Structures are given as structure tokens and as C-alpha cells.
A and B are shown apart, each in its own frame.
Chain A
């Protein structure tokens, strides 16, 4: 049963100093914790040791006297004595360095790694002088592209195999390999099969020399130009900790930091390389106002007045319930709170929703007991009731993959299509789309299953059921597996499990950067900040804000429907692009054109922004401090590294100023002020003062709600990072913004811990009761659509990140081979599909991982796409198909 091992410790001596070591730990790791750095190239704290480079030799006292041992794979023993400085150790290290250098080109001045290269550093610190090698060095063709993102210079390679081990062990994409033998060994790919991994950038980060470089970064900046801040990646909601680097007010590089509870140092390529979107020429840098049908530049004053006038008119003429504020899942926590306050306290509408009809009801997300990533990676069983995590929350995928392989965590997958974790799942229950509740019911039922349920064989059910024995701990990863069906089946399956198994905890697999923070801080219908229902929190918030809406409002889909019918007179889009992201594009289009007056607060001119009457430009990641909240509810600091383009502002300032323009005062003047107000008012954030977040001990962030309001900060700190690029400039790392640059400088680190509010906190929102509904029977003459996202897509971030844009695939309709035959389609041929919404012509691709009768189409690869076919009012999407 995988339980996080409790560690036995003992004392060892390193260079005469006593160090507390953990059983099973390698000498190199124990020494490092004790403050002694043992040089190394191949060892990486997050991968299994291989002992290849031999740089880490140390003297260890054994029964037969002192002897040289490699510190990276010899585990510590009680009372072990280690000497890292003996003459013999020095001689051996000099020898190894000389051997590594004999074939290494001396092109440091033009190498991307120059200045942050462990080989260079070790040579200065530990190495011999000039080379004694008189022979010619090993030659290879200079940098060759091994993928669209990574270049390889084999002459610089020192054969540490970090890259190949990462690709194989960690990512499961062993496209790069050691080819040939001995001194002729080289890293390479198979001809015409590139290193197409979503995680390839990590190899660039961990390569100890300049052999692997990222084509987006190459020659852009020299390591010594770069100083950096710590931040959190908000491209998805995993919340990987990163270091952001810049040069001349452009982000130049994003590196993974090793956060024990979250990302272990890894990033996905989408996150890593999407800094280009921040630097994009197409950023909105000035407010726009529609005049004579055209969006034209305006001053903030003009734009705010126009926005206020439009919204006020709509409210005064038609009432606050004809206003809606949609989006906000990409805002910082403070922004989300400010907008919740503006929408619910000032505009007076509860038609507020940070999700685009592609998520789960807020009560479900916030009401079910929450798990952390660590809980999932040490659970006995993890149920995946979610989209393909590799595509949507890539680093969570890595963590679960490791958990399945190294901790023996049993994964049960409920889905209608194979995912990146299918090979590691103990049971894959491939069911017909829309039938998750029936499969869940079969899993939870008594007695042996005897017949198939929604296409899942009884044996598979039986296998999965064994993994749910009552003594096993269960974590559910919960998200929308398919956007072509309503959220209902997923919700019902989850609620049924929760009722049957109250001890099970849930990790929401919602994708947008701060969707969890936005939900928790009230950007959802029926909710107020602090995971509080409108009913429970009305008194407290009415008192603090002046007023709160009296009744539950509309979610995004319902609000768009109202708009389409001409009943919504004012709409604010907070970084929201329903035309791209809402599952039902027909509805979104009609909604946007039907809405009386539209204000878009955004960083890009998205298709939806083009429809707005007023456009307000805002800052995005890297440009503003604040906090963000990940899938676990972990709150971490965002770092500011550059200033936003033009006159773009932080979103909370827009809210605050717009309130003034509406003759109201949000009372929010600084980030610290907002954070303090959140701590005071939002029950789920009690105790989370700015000072606590800034505490060095909280570098991994703090999971809300805190255990008790005045519990000591959660211990744990970012491991000394093994990456040279980070370590080399660690001295410059700051949390928050450089003074005087940003709109705000965050809280006061080390300041007094504010006392939590004394008013009784309202209860946390509760999950709804289950209401079992049968799946919709399949129609034998149709194919039922499954639709989910791919990592690289037609969305703004990818398309504005030069290197990533071309990685988005062209959409194809995946169909089970037997259905290809049944409908006389040709693999690779064209098919015309007809849904209740529209008709589209697509290329067919055989996909045996689908259940029969189902088909899959990527959601986000442009038009015509799934969003053109889906009707948000239907529980499922059935397609009539015919060869085109």
C-alpha cells in the first residue's frame, strides 16, 4: 500500500561536520542538505542515479579503510564518515574533468550556456589547468534540430544521459536515445522521428552543458544579462513554480523551480515557451472604444467613462439582473476578488461566472473534499474522471505517472478515449460517452458484476472494484472528460462516489490558470468570496460591501442564452473569449451579438474582443505581482519581471477605477490591502495574510483553507535547485516586484500577522445532492461525439507564442476502425458530419482506442471544430455521418 514512507534518520559525518541523513538517501543528497556541495553532472535529484560521469567520487571510510565511492548512488549508512576534500578525491575529480574536456569544444564565449555552465564552473572550481590532449577532438555536425523546439550540439555533450533519462523515466517519451557505442556515442533521434514531447524543454534546462538549446531562446539572451524573479506559471492550473528571466523588459526565459509538493522542477513546453505571448506585438496596449462601428484608441478616462455609461444605462433601464460578468479564470486572486466585489457589490448582478461552460459547477468543485497533488501521489487508488491530463494539466500527468510507476498507486480511468495515463492505469474503463454515472454505479454496487455496463466488460469492472476495497484511500481527479456532453454525467458520477465513500477526496482538473482562485473568490453564480454560498454569506458581505445580489444568477451558458434572446443588456468579459472557448459556438455568437453593451477587459484582441464596445487593456503574467491559486487550493506568489505594454493596467485597478466611474468606491487601493480584506472576509482564506505568504518557509505556497487560522506556516521550502541556470543567479531571486516598477509592490514581508476576523465565518459551500439520471441511449445510425482539448491549440496563448503556434495539429475526426467500415468511410478520407447545430466536413482518422459508436474531435483546433457541432442544451452530441 503506498504510504509516504516515514523516514528513519541517522547521523553521518561529512568533512568532519555532522549531518542528519535519511535512510536510503544517497551520500550526495545528504551532504548537500548539510551544506556540502559534491560536484556532479549526471546525478539529478529527481531521477534515478546512473553513476555515469564519476565526478561525484568521495572518500568513504569502510571496514577496510578509506576508499573512493561515487556519492550519487551509494546510500548513507549510520555513522558513515565521508571526506569530500581528500587529495585523492581532488586528484580523481581533476582527472574526470580533464577527461570530460578533452573532447569538449572550447566555444564557451558563443555558447548559450556560457556563464551558467556547471562544466565551466567546475573547471574553474575543481579542475586542472590547460589541456594535455594533443589529438584532434571528436567531431559532429554542429547543432542539429531534434524537434521544433530543441537543438542538439553533440560536440558539447558530455554523455551524462540526463536528457535521455528524463525523456524515458520522467516524460515517457523516449524519442531521444544514446546511439552508437563508447567514445563514438551520441545523443540522437530516429531518422524522421523528432523529439515530439510535451516536456522537451526540461532537457534543455537540465543539460549541464550547452549541448541542448531551445530554439526559441537561442542567442536571445546571455545568461549574465538575466536576473530573475520567482513566480508561478499560470498557463494552466497546476501552478508550477518558475523563475522568470528578462532582458530589456522582455521575458527571455522561464525555468522550472523544484517545488516539492507541485512540479519537482519540471514544466511543460507550453508553459515554458509561452512567454513569447507576453512579449507579443499583438498585445493590447491602449484602451479602445467603438466609434462608428470601429474600435479606436482612447484614453483610460474616455474608455472608463464609456464603459460605466453603458453598464449604468443597462442597469438603470433594465435592472442589475440584465448584466453579466463572465470570465476571470486567468486573473490573479486579488483581481478576482476586486471584480467579484464590483460585480456583486456594485453592479448588483449575480450573473457572474469565471468558467466558459466548459468546466464544472462551482458548488461541486468547492463543495467536495479537496485533495492535494501529494495526496493523489500517495493514495492507494486514484480515479481519473477527467480529460487527458497530459493535454490539459501536463505536470499533474507527470506526477501521477511517477506515482503509478514508483509508488504503486493504482489508477482507475473512466473515460471514452485513451489518455496519456492509460498505459499506467491498472484499470481503464472505456465507456460510451455520457454513461459515466452508470459505470460508477456498477463500481460501487454490491456483488460481482456479471454484465457489461456502457461498453465496459464485467472483468474490467471487477478489476477496478478490487482497487476500491474499503480499506484503500481514494483520490478522484475530477474534470470534464468531454465537452460534447453536459457536465451532468461527470457531476453525478462524482457525487455518487462522494456519497458512497465520504473519505474520498477530489482534485479538480480544471484547466485555466486561476480558475480555482476565481471560483473560491466568488466569480461564480450563487457564491461569495471564501467558498461561501450567497445565502450563507449574505449578511457578512452585505455589511462589508454595502449590498449583495438577492438571488442566484446565471452561469455563462444561461447568460449567453439570455443575451441571444435580447434580454442581457450589459456584458463584461474578463479575459474571456466565448467565441473560442464556449462549447457551443452558435450560442456564443448569438449571445455576443445579442448582448446590449459589451466591455472586454483583455490582453489580446481575441475574436470576442472584436465584438466589444469598450476594450480595456490589462497586464498578464510576468507583468504584475499578486497571488494565484492552483488545483489544490495552494496559494503562491506571482512575480513581476517586466512592465505591461503601453498603458495596460492590472485587472484589480480596472475594477477599482471602473467602480469610481460608476460613482462607487471599492475601497481597494493596493494588493496588500486587497489581500488583507480577503483574509478578513473570505472564510476559506482566514489567516492567509500577505506576510504569511511572503514567509520564506512558504515558498511552496500555502494550501487554503489553512488548517487553523493561526497555525504555524506550513513547513517546506523550495529545494536547492539543481538547475545551473537558476542556481547561478539565485542571489538575484526576489519574490514580488522590483520596487517602483509595478503598479503595486505587494505585501510587507515579515510584517505583523493580521488577526483573523472575529465575526463568525459562514459555512463552506456544500456539494449538491446527487440526482441520478440515466445516460442517453445511443443511436445506432449515428456516432456520438467526444471532444477534448489538445495542449497546442488555436487559442491565443499558443498562437501568440511563435515557436508553439505551428505545433497545433490539424483537426481530424477519430473513428473506431469498425465504424469506419460500418459507415463505409475511408481512413484519411473526408466525412460530412451533421449535428443538431450544423454540418461540417472533416478528415477521418482510425482510432482503435475509442469505444465503438463514438468519435473524437479535438475541441480547440480551429474551425470547423467541435464547438460548431455542440448544442449546449443537449446532454450529448450525436452526429450523422456520411462519406464526403
Chain B
């Protein structure tokens, strides 16, 4: 890898100081500088900077933050909601950000609220983040004390309140419309689109921007240094740096902020100072490239750059074709001895447990997949089970391709099919061994078109 210095954009304090979460450290290290600068600009100018940076949302879908803001319905009452529900298995970057640098998150939130002229902002944090909730609440209190929140922020005439909202244990509340339902005091069940596109019809039916914690954490730097400086990092559509949460069979499981595209999966897993290679010097069997919902990759994908399109448009493993995704930015490494059937089952079970139950294919399909997989794992597989798995997966995500088509309301359903279809396609013999006989039958072909919109 070349040796140019890449700035730490969101983890600079966390990596340098033990007390990175305190307001004192924050203020001593440029805290609120971005906010002060933003308030000296017009909201349109702030939006323009973010558009220039081409910052992609860090929550999973990877939509350009500036573009999303510009699509907001023009109504007087608008809301900003920060998505800190991080529950995607093996994703722990937001957890670090809220515990390690809560003031940065609050600053980014105020900047964004100013840019979109929100009436109120909510930081919805996963309920299990007890320490994170305390630290972000403290950061909000400190912001009030320092004049960064409340009436007439820093004398700019702009006023804002932020409410820290605890979730209560439901992965689906990370899905933005489910999150809004939850924030309205309801069961976190995703809304149907149309008509509930948050930017048009969000919280209480008003236009609402939902952005991820890490997306917000980038804002102070982008405003301080300019969108162009951010866009100068990375390549193509994937600009700047991004945190990748590395776990599984690597020597140094941790979060790493690296430059996008300029870094590859191989760098991340094997480089010194990063993953440091597979534990015990073993071989890589496969890895999950972007959160539990992502189709898996094998050793042949190691040299793909960490970029949205680079991964999305790659040649992946799904029977229906297509690549995979960086999703929530978490990479789970499995070594040569991993029982991939068990690993795939464990993820399938996660989705079955977390299905909200609103739509039939997800409510019934995920738990059926869980049951069949469990049976196979326990050695009670039957001939025909693999065909059944493929067919049930196909009924949830018709075509079994990436990007997914789906018969469900949201992406949770197809997510359950991805680990199963990945493992089954990459390692069919491990399944066949367990169901006794190897069934014949081909996989469904590539579909002509996308699915449910």
C-alpha cells in the first residue's frame, strides 16, 4: 500500500485519547469548530458542502447523504433522526462512536439539523447501549451548557433540541421506517413505501431525514475541511474513509478507519496494524463482507477494493448473480475449520428471531428456514431439504440475486436467505453430507427483473 497519510476523520480522538468521550477533551481538540463554521454559512451552503463530499450513508444502504437531504419535501415542520440502533450481527462501529466520541456525534447532528432546518432532532440509540446512552445524554447536556444546543446556538439565531431516545431491543428498529414507528411509541414494524418515504412522509407524517451515527460523525470534519477534501479521499462514488468492524478468526479483531477503495479486503484482514492475518496461521475459508445480511465472499474476492460499487458490481456467489455489499461495514472472517452450515444457521436464526412479523414471507419464511437449518445442523437433514431451502429462499428473495428482489416489506426477509444461499452455493458438499444424499436439481436461474419495489 502506498504511504500517503490518510487523516482519521471520525476516530481521531478515540484512537488518541483514553478520555476521548469527555467534553473537556472534545473542546481541547477542536470541538464545535465545524459547528461554528457551519452556522456562519447558509443551510444551503452546508448542504452543498456535504453534496460535494459525496459522503455515502454509513447505515447500510449507502445512499448519498447530501442527495437525500436535497430530496426532502419542503414543509415547515421537519425532523432529523439519527439511527444508532446498530444491531446487525458483528457490527460494532457505532457502539464505539457513541461511547468513545459522543460529542462529535452531537456536533454532527446539530450541523445536519441546521443544514436541513430541522425543528427537532432525535438520536435513537440501541437500548442495550447503556453506557452509550449515558454518554450521549451527557454530551447533549454539555452541548446545552456550552450554548451548542437550545435557544440561539452560538448567537446564530438557530435553535435546536436533541432528544436521546433509547430503543428497547429489536433489530428491526434499525430499518428507518420501523425506527420512526418505534420513535412514535409503536411496535417497530416497517412502513410500506409508498407512501411512507421518510424524506417525504416520516416522523408524524412530516418530512424526516434518517441518517446513521457514523454518517453524522463525519460532518464536523467535512465542514471544517471542506467537502472537496473529503472527496479527494477514496475513489469513484466511495469517497473519504470508513470504519470497518473486523471480527471472527483474525489476530486483531477491532474497528479500523481506512480510506475507501484504496484499501482491499486483503489489506484489512492481513495487514499489520490492521487485522494481522488469520489466527493460528490458518487459511481463509470465506468471509462476510458487509454485515450479516450480505452475501458471503471467498478467498477469490480478497483483492476487491473496499468500495460500494466495487463490491456491489463484483462477481459474487449467489445463484442468481450479482455481487455483495459493504452494508454496515462489518467483516466476519471464517477460517478453514469453520462449520459453515452452523454459521449460516446461526445467522438465519438471528433473522428469524428478529423478524417483526408484519409480512408473511418474513414471519413464516425466516422461521421455517431456521427450523430446517437447525435440523440439518443437528444431523436430521432429509433428502429434498436443500431443494426446499432454495425454494423457500427464492420465495422470499425471488431470483436469489444481488441486489435482491423481494416479496417482503423490508430487507430483513431476504437477509435471512443470503447466508444460507451463500454457504449452500459455496460449500454444497458440506450440506449434502449432512442431509445424507446429494439431491439433484438445479438452482433457479437469473430473473429478468427486479422484484417488489
Contacts and interface: CB of A to CB of B under 8 A. Distances in A.
- Touch between chains A and B, by CB atoms below 8 Å: yes
Contact of A66 (B360, B395, B448): B448
A57 B361 CA distance: 12
Contact of A102 (B194, B368, B409): B368
Contacts of A102: 364, 368
Given A66-B448, A182-B352, A88 B398 contact: yes
Contact of B187 (A66, A70, A178): A178
Contacts of A180: 357
A55 B187 CA distance: 23
B449 A96 contact: no
Interface string A168-208: 00000000001011111100000000000000000000000
Q: Which of B359, B372, B409 gathers most chain A CB within 10 Å?
A: B359
A493 to B, nearest CB: 37
Nearest to B364: A99
B361 A96 contact: yes
Contact of A92 (B355, B367, B395, B448): B395
Contact of A100 (B354, B360, B388): B360
Contacts of A66: 448-449
Interface string A63-92: 011111110011100000000000010011
A534 B407 CA distance: 69
A828 interface: no
B363 A183 contact: yes
Interface in A97-125: 98-100, 102-103
Contacts of B358: 50, 52
Contacts of A185: 357, 363
Interface string B358-392: 11110111111001100100000010100010011
A68 B405 contact: yes
A53 B388 CA distance: 21
Contacts of B360: 52-55, 96, 99-100, 158-159
Given A54-B359, A96-B395, A96-B407, A183 B187 contact: no
Contacts of A50: 192, 358
Contacts of A184: 357
A777 to B, nearest CB: 47
Given A67-B449, A185-B363, A74 B395 contact: no
A70 B382 CA distance: 34
A167 to B, nearest CB: 15
A158 B450 CA distance: 27
Contact of A182 (B353, B392, B395, B450): B353
B453 interface: yes
Nearest to B362: A182
Given A57-B452, A96-B407, A182-B363, A68 B398 contact: yes
B407 A54 contact: yes
Given A102-B368, A178-B187, A51 B359 contact: yes
Contacts of A64: 449-450
B171 to A, nearest CB: 10
B368 A135 contact: yes
A103 B365 CA distance: 11
B356 interface: yes
Contacts of A183: 352, 355, 357, 363-364, 366-367
A95 interface: yes
B194 A73 contact: yes
Q: Which of A73, A92, A99, A180 gathers most chain B CB within 10 Å?
A: A99
A134 interface: yes
Contacts of B367: 182-183
B170 interface: yes
Nearest to A57: B407
A178 B181 CA distance: 15
Nearest to B412: A182
A65 B448 contact: yes
Interface residues of A, number: 42
Contacts of A70: 192, 452
A62 interface: yes
B212 to A, nearest CB: 24
Contacts of A132: 384, 388
B451 interface: yes
Nearest to A50: B192
Contacts of B117: none
Contacts of A96: 360-361, 395, 407
Q: Which of B371, B407, B453 gathers most chain A CB within 10 Å?
A: B407
Contact of B359 (A53, A68, A88, A181): A53
B408 interface: yes
Nearest to B409: A51
Contacts of A100: 360, 364
A133 interface: yes
A68 B371 contact: no
A469 to B, nearest CB: 24
Contacts of B357: 159, 178, 180-185
Contact of B192 (A73, A103, A134, A158): A73
A49 interface: yes
Nearest to A66: B449
B401 to A, nearest CB: 13
A92 B444 CA distance: 14
A75 B367 CA distance: 31
A178 B187 CA distance: 9
Contacts of B384: 132
A57 to B, nearest CB: 6
Interface string B392-411: 10110010000001011100
A69 B449 contact: no
A92 B192 contact: no
B412 to A, nearest CB: 10
Contacts of A62: 453
B354 A182 contact: yes
A132 B383 CA distance: 12
A133 B391 CA distance: 13
B359 A52 contact: yes
Given A67-B451, A102-B368, A51 B192 contact: yes
B408 A54 contact: yes
Interface string B176-199: 000000000001000010100000
Contacts of B447: 88
B448 A159 contact: no
A71 B187 CA distance: 25
Contacts of A88: 398, 447
Contacts of B375: 134-135
A562 to B, nearest CB: 62
B262 to A, nearest CB: 32
A51 B194 CA distance: 10
Given A133-B368, A182-B367, A67 B361 contact: no
B453 A67 contact: yes
A91 B359 contact: no
A579 B295 CA distance: 78
A368 to B, nearest CB: 39
Contacts of A133: 368
A182 B355 contact: yes
A211 to B, nearest CB: 15
B376 to A, nearest CB: 12
B368 A99 contact: yes
B368 A182 contact: no
A125 B452 CA distance: 23
A51 B408 CA distance: 9
Interface string A774-802: 00000000000000000000000000000
Given A66-B448, A68-B407, A95 B361 contact: yes
A315 to B, nearest CB: 69
Smallest CB-CB A-B distances: 4 pairs: A95-B395, A99-B364, A185-B357, A183-B367
11 contacts: A54-B407, A67-B449, A68-B405, A69-B453, A88-B398, A98-B395, A99-B368, A100-B360, A159-B357, A181-B355, A183-B366
Given A52-B409, A68-B451, 12 more contacts: A53-B360, A75-B194, A91-B395, A91-B398, A95-B395, A100-B364, A103-B364, A132-B384, A135-B371, A159-B363, A182-B353, A185-B363
